[in-house]
Structure 1
Amino acid sequence: MTDRTYSESRRTPVQLAALLFGAVFLLVGIAGFIPGITSDVGSMEFAGHESEAMLLGIFQVSILHNIVHLLYGVAGLALARTAGSARGYLLIGGVVYLGLWLYGLLIDKESTANFVPLNDADDWLHLGLGVAMVALSFLPGQRRVQEHKVDRRYGREPRI
């Protein structure tokens, strides 16, 4: 019996980052509708600063805000399939979050301009997300390939 060699490819670091962010955004979008995780769900508005719903009692959310998180989550999971699209998701998504951070700093939180809605905790979270996503978009996008020799007699790598 002879030994055979096979290659095992893994996701790249940039794909794993996009996959992680996508999964977290999806979970956050779902959690925004769950009473107990989100307080005052009954007062949640579609959009606008009048929504009193608070995710984890900290982050002001609305139906629109939760839908945006769900869409970001689905996009992250879908775009994590290739290194190039994962990089684009993280870079563009990060720039959008940095823009949202600036928007949140500049608007009057009690005005109709606060349609998402945003509070101070959201603003600083958006800064952190934006910086992290842009930084992670520079992770390696090359696949690491590991070769394994398999002893056909035992179906596993030979012992050395």
Structure 2
Amino acid sequence: MSATDRTTRRYAQTAVQKAALIVGIVFLLVGIAGFIPGLTSNVDRIVFVGHGSEALLLGVFQVSILHNIVHLLFGVVGLWAATSFAASRNFLIWGGAVYALLWLYGLLVPVDSAANFVPMNDADDWLHLGLAVGMILLGLLLGRRQAVTGTARA
């Protein structure tokens, strides 16, 4: 690898950067879809925060305005993270850790509790587990090669 290649940042160049980009795009699409009638049922009964939101993305996943904003923010962070190897790896691993915590939170907090402010239903809980496992594995597996060779760039 030449000195120019090592110092020039390329957007979504490595596998882990591409994974962060794809995950970011998916989060952006999900965040937008949460506001679109047809993709989200009962969108007219969406609330900003709380378990009382009756809006269901794809008729399954309970969403609120806050929930959709969080998806949009995760998407923006994923797009930004794709600018570097380290940021992409960190986004996937730590973002996956956040989703693991959300999964545990969803298991421990009753659906109709005031503490369920995001809101989340059972479908959300299991999706969060899948996201946690998937993101962490992507970060660890795709982030290994460059990290092991010591050529990772921030």
Aligned partner of 2:34 in structure 1 is 32
The alpha-carbon deviation at position 19 of structure 1 amounts to 0.4
Aligned partner of 1:122 in structure 2 is 124
How does 1:19-98 map onto structure 2 within 5 Å?
19-98=21-100
Aligned partner of 2:150 in structure 1 is none
Q: Partner letter of residue 132 of structure 2?
A: G
Task: Give TM-score scaled by structure 1 length.
Answer: 0.82
Q: Partner letter of residue 63 of structure 1?
A: I
The unaligned stretches of length 5 or more in structure 2 are 147-154
User: Which has the larger share of helix?
Assistant: 2
The alpha-carbon deviation at position 126 of structure 1 amounts to 0.1
Q: Partner letter of residue 95 of structure 1?
A: A
Report the 3-state secondary structure (helix = DSSP H, G, I; strand = E; otherwise coil) of the residue aligned with 1:50. Answer: coil
The unaligned stretches of length 5 or more in structure 1 are 1-6, 143-160
Q: How many residues align?
A: 135
Q: Deviations over 1:49-75 (max 9, x none)?
A: 100000000000000000000000000
Q: Partner letter of residue 69 of structure 1?
A: H
Q: Deviations over 1:6-50 (max 9, x none)?
A: x8x771110011001000000000000000000000100001010
The alpha-carbon deviation at position 108 of structure 1 amounts to 1.0
* CA distance in 2 between partners of 1:73 and 1:94 (Å): 13
RMSD (CA atoms): 1.3
Give structure 1 regions of 4+ aligned residues with deviation exceeding 3 angstroms.
Answer: none
* CA distance in 2 between partners of 1:61 and 1:93 (Å): 19
The alpha-carbon deviation at position 89 of structure 1 amounts to 0.3
Report the 3-state secondary structure (helix = DSSP H, G, I; strand = E; otherwise coil) of the residue aligned with 2:25. Answer: helix
Task: Give TM-score scaled by structure 2 length.
Answer: 0.85
Percent of pairs identical after alignment?
63
Which structure has the higher relative contact order (CA within 8 Å, separation 6+)? Answer: 1
